[in-house]
């Protein structure tokens, strides 16, 4: 899943346009984004707050097992990196 500060309507439109096959959730008040210390204040359009790019792998018990943070929206984990990390999570 992905989480964004965008409204549910904006998130639905983005997901449809990009043909995402996973849920794109809305966190308009940035409550979850703040909880994970991902808030990037005033970095969005017209100085709005947005989330820093991050990827998490969470096990079936809800424990975060792998995290990738970046300050640059253009830099994301590659699929092979995430899959390798997922293989290392104990089952």
Euclidean distance between CA atoms 65 and 86, whole angstroms? 8
* Segment 64-75, tens digit of pLDDT: 888 888 777 677
- pLDDT reading at 81 higher than 80: yes
| Dist. CA 48–CA 29, nearest whole Å | 11
pLDDT in tens, 17-41: 999 998 999 999 999 989 988 888 8
**Domain map of the chain by residue range?**
1-52, 54-91
Q: Please give the backbone phi and psi of residue 67, each rounded to the nearest 5 degrees, phi first.
A: -140, 140
Read off the pTM.
0.67
Report phi then psi at 28, rounded to 5.
-55, -35
């Amino acid at each position: 899943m992905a989480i964004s500060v965008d409204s549910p309507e904006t998130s639905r439109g983005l997901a449809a346009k990009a043909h995402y096959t996973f849920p794109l959730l809305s966190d308009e008040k940035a409550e979850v984004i703040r909880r994970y210390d991902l808030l990037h204040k005033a970095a969005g359009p017209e100085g709005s707050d947005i989330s820093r790019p991050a990827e998490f792998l969470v096990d079936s018990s809800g424990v975060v097992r792998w995290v990738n943070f970046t300050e640059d929206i253009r830099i994301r984990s590659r699929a092979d990196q995430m899959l390798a990390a997922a293989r290392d999570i104990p089952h």
